[in-house]
Amino acid sequence: MRSNFLGAGLIFTTAYNDNVTTDGTHPVGDVVYSILPTISLDQTTPRQHLSLIYSPGFTFYQKTTSLNAAAQSAAFSFQYRLSEHTTISLSDSFQKSSNAFNQLYPVAGAGISGSTQAPSGQLVVPYADQLNNLANAGFSYQFSRNRMVGADAVFALSNYPNPAQAPELYNSNGPGGSIFYSQRLSSRQYIGVTYQYLRSQADPVLAQTNPVNASTEVQTQTVLPFYTIYLNPTLSISISGGPQYYDASQSPSQSVRAWTPAAMASIGWQKRHTNLVASYARTVAGSVGLPGAFETNTTNGSARWQIARTWNTGAAGSYFLNKSLTPSFTPSNPGGHTITGNVWVQHSMGEHFRAELGYSRLHQSYSGIAVISNAPDTNREYISLSYQFSRPLGR
């Protein structure tokens, strides 16, 4: 069988944000309008699956018009079955944004992590221009009924193209990769192990006010055995933990090397009208936006409830705690924490239209970053209207 679908849509959002900029002492609020058209292509054949999504975005501010900006996002994924039991995959995700609230809180909430690649330290500059790109290539081979191996390679890039908006932050980039072995013990239990290598290099956004040797590099190697069990068809638990080695360097400072434990856990409960998810991770990584190595503790949770056939409500939240393991590199940046939250109500009006009403909150505490510490809290109330459709192409 062959199937091809072309999709398109338009999302219009109006919101009041109480902290889009500061007058030097107090946050300044404004009404923000966003227009996000999308176009997508999905193609499936017996041996391959191709997905393409592109969305330009336009954001307008009622008062602070200097923040008006255009955004771009694109995503590509491709899977090809070399044989009945062998699959390769390629993917790339690019995003140019100037408003973090258009991406922080996905409508469906956070998913079960189940991944050995924990998120790096989350630091958000809500209205700074940012470029992000994540490329991935993977391979998997099921060599018996209950056993599978695989490997993947990744490259991540995070840049702030406008130094005036993030003068104290750092751009980062780096490759990584992992290999895994997985075995099904029974219809409800799985075990396995993953080895992962990541390298992150950070360079100051505003090079003129930072010494050349401010560049830092963090390498981590992690071995994570994991175990997953389905207590029943609707309730699953996944845990993993193992040793992690990190090596952080910044010339002319002495390199910092050590072993530390890494751990992750997640739980998911799904019923016909209700979905609850929670996850926790402790790991060491280079923090996006800051130099050096950070011990990161991450907690995520989300819930969704279908009130009626056309009504849904939900909530999602996350907590990131970052502690610097390399204080000699940047004494003014010991770390901090980020808290995000979102609640929403959705109503479907026919097959293609949907309305959403929601509230979002962002709180951060980073004493060494003036662009954040001067106005650490942001509250946002929004109304969103969307139209989506898809049409089959070909036979």
CB contact set of 326 (below 8 Å; sequence gap of 6+) = 216, 248, 250, 256, 291, 292, 293
Question: How far is CA 199 from each of CA 154, 189, 217, 273, 287, rounded to the nearest angstrom?
Answer: 10, 32, 7, 42, 11
Q: CA-to-CA distance for 36 and 165, rounded, in angstroms?
A: 23
Question: Please, what is the average pLDDT of the chain?
Answer: 88
CB contact at 8 A, 177 and 222: no
End-to-end CA distance of the chain: 9
Structure tokens at 104: 């922080």
Q: Considering the chain, what percentage of its residues have pLDDT values greater than 90?
A: 65
CB contact at 8 A, 224 and 193: yes
- Residue at 268: amino acid letter: G
Query: 221 versus 103: which is more confidently predicted?
Result: 221
Nearest CA to 297 out of 323, 327, 328 is that of 323
- Residue at 84: amino acid letter: E
Q: Strands, DSSP E only, in the chain?
A: 3-22, 27-44, 48-61, 69-83, 86-97, 130-144, 147-159, 170-184, 189-204, 216-232, 235-249, 256-270, 274-286, 293-308, 311-324, 335-349, 353-365, 377-392
Nearest CA to 22 out of 372, 382, 367, 381 is that of 372
pTM beyond 0.85: the answer is yes
**Position 60 pLDDT exceeds 60:** yes
**Position 89 pLDDT exceeds 90:** yes
Least confident range of 83-87, 140-144, 159-163, 346-350: 159-163
Helix (H, G, I), strand (E, B) or coil at 105: coil
Q: Which residues pair with 330 in a beta bridge?
A: none
DSSP, res 208: G
What are the structural domain ranges in the chain?
A: 3-392
CB contact at 8 A, 76 and 51: yes
pLDDT digits (tens, 9 = 90+) for 232-250: 999 999 999 999 999 999 8
Query: 104 versus 36: which is more confidently predicted?
Result: 36
pLDDT digits (tens, 9 = 90+) for 120-138: 556 778 778 889 999 999 9
Q: What is the pLDDT of residue 112?
A: 41
At residue 105 the predicted structure's pLDDT band, cuts being 50, 70 and 90, is very low
Q: Which of 59-73, 201-215, 367-381 has the highest mean pLDDT?
A: 59-73
Q: CA-to-CA distance for 41 and 57, rounded, in angstroms?
A: 18
Task: Determine whether domain 3-392 maps to CATH 2.40.50.
Answer: no
